[in-house]
Structure 1
Amino acid sequence: MKSLYPTTLLLILLFFALNVNAQQTPGAIQESAISIQGATLHTGKGEVIKNSRIDFNNGKIEYIGKANENHPLKPNTQIIKANNQHIYPGFIVPNSTLGLVEIDAVKASKDENETGSFLPHIRSLIAYNTESKVVESMRPNGVLIAEITPRGGRISGTSSVVQLDAWNWEDAYINKDHGIHLNWPSIYKRMSHLDKKKKIKQDLENYTKEVNKLTVYLEQAKSYRSKEIGTKSIAFEAVKPVFSGNKTLYIHANTKQQIADILQFKTNLQIPKIVLVGGYEALIYASELKNAKIPVLVNRPHSLPRKDDEDYDAPFKLATQLTQAGLLVGLEPSGDMERMNARNLPFYAGTCAAYGLSKEQALQLITHNNAQILGIHNHYGSLEVGKSATLFISEGDALDMRGNKLTHAFIDGRAVSLKTHQTKLYERYSKKYKK
Structure 2
Amino acid sequence: MMTVSRWHCLLACLAIAIAATLEANDQVPGEPQSNPILIRGATIHRVDEATIPVGSVLFDAGKIVAVDVRIDPPAGCVVVDGTGKHVYPGLIESMTDLGLREILSVGETSDSNERGERNPNVRSWVAVNPDSELIPVARAGGIMIAHVSPGGPFLRGQTAVMQMDGWTVSDMNLLAPAGLGVNWESLQPRDKDAKEEAKKRDDKLQSLDDWLDEAKRYGEARTDGTIEIVSDVKLESLLPVLRRERPLFVEANHQSTIESAVAYAVGRDLSLVIYGGYDAVECADLLKRYEVPVIVAGTYRLPLHRHDAFDAAYTLPARLRKAGIRFAIAGEGLGYPGGSSNARNLPYHAANAVAYGLSRDDAVAAMTMSAADILGIGDRVGSVTAGKDATLIVCDGDILETETNVIDAFIQGRRVDLTSRHTMLFEKYKKKYSRQSR
Does TM-score exceed 0.5, indicating one fold?
yes
Q: Which amino acid aligns with 1:365?
A: A
- 1:291 partner letter: R
Report what 1:193 is aligned to: none
Deviation at 1:73, TM superposition (A): 1.8
How far did 1:342 drift?
0.9
| Correspondence for 1:59 among 59, 62, 65 | 62
Q: Is the 8 A contact 1:119 1:153 kept in 2?
A: no
2:376 is the alignment partner of 1:375: yes
Matched AA of 1:255: H
CA distance in 2, matches of 1:414, 1:289: 39
Tell me, in whole angstroms, the C-alpha distance in 2 between the residues paired with 1:223 and 1:324: 42
Shift of 1:419: 0.7
Output the CA distance in 1 between the equivalents of 2:283 and 2:415: 44
Aligned partner letter, 2:106: V
Residue 294 of structure 1, CA deviation: 0.7
Q: Which runs of 5+ in 1 are unaligned?
A: 191-195
Q: What one-letter code is carried by the residue in structure 1 that aligns with 2:41?
A: G
2:295 paired residue number: 297
- Contact preservation (8 Å) 1:113, 1:151: yes
SS state of the match for residue 113, structure 1? Answer: coil
2-side partners of 1:4 and 1:94: how far apart? Answer: 51
Q: What does 1:307-318 correspond to in 2, within 5 Å?
A: 307-318=305-316
1:31 & 1:95 partners in 2: Cα distance? 32
> Contact conserved, 1:123 with 1:159, CA < 8 A, in 2?
yes
The two structures have a TM-score, normalised by structure 2, of: 0.92
By how many angstroms is 1:4 displaced? 6.1
Is the contact between residue 147 and residue 161 of structure 2 (CA under 8 Å) also seen in structure 1? yes
Matched with 1:209 is 203
Contact 2:262 2:272 in 1 (8 A): no
Aligned to 2:187, the other structure's residue is in SS state: coil
Deviations 1:200-255 (A, max 9, x none): 22222222222222222223222323455733322111111112221111111111
Distance 1:340 1:40 in 2: 30
> Do the aligned partners of residues 46 and 386 (structure 1) sit closer, same or farther apart at CA in structure 2, a change above 3 Å counting?
closer
Report the Cα distance in structure 2 between the residues aligned to 1:44 and 1:219, rounded to whole angstroms: 42
2-side partners of 1:267 and 1:10: how far apart?
A: 59
SS at match of 2:126: helix
Secondary structure, in 3 states, of the residue corresponding to 2:95?
A: strand
TM-superposed deviation, 1:94: 1.9
CA distance in 1, matches of 2:229, 2:139: 49
Q: Tell me, yes or no, if the aligned pair for 1:45 and 1:360 is still in contact at 8 Å.
A: no
Consecutive unaligned residues of structure 2, counting only runs of 5 or more, are none
* Aligned-partner SS, 2:401: coil
Residue matched to 2:340: 339
Q: Which residue in 1 is equivalent to 2:397?
A: 396
Q: Using the alignment, how far apart are the partners of 2:12 and 2:425 within structure 1?
A: 26
Taking the TM superposition and a 5 Å limit, the aligned residue runs for 1:113-262 are 113-184=113-184, 185-190=186-191, 196=192, 199-224=193-218, 225-226=221-222, 227=225, 228=227, 230-262=229-261
Decide whether the 8 Å contact of 1:394 with 1:407 is kept in 2.
Answer: yes
| Identical residues among aligned pairs (%) | 31
1:182 to partner: Cα distance? 1.3
3-state DSSP of counterpart to 1:276: strand
- Amino acid aligned to 1:166: G
Structure 1: 4+ residue segments shifted above 6 A = none
Counterpart AA for 1:55:
L
Q: Could you give the per-residue CA deviations for residues 336-360 of structure 1, whole angstroms, max 9, x where no partner exists?
A: 1211111101111111111111111
Do 1:59 and 1:389's aligned partners in 2 also have CA atoms closer than 8 Å?
yes
The whole-number CA distance in structure 1 between the counterparts of 2:19 and 2:362 is 44
Amino acid at match of 2:168: N
Kept in 1, the 8 Å contact 2:102–2:341? The answer is: no
Q: Which moved more, 1:422-431 or 1:383-392?
A: 422-431
Matched pairs, number = 423
Structure 2 distance, partners of 1:229, 1:287, is 46
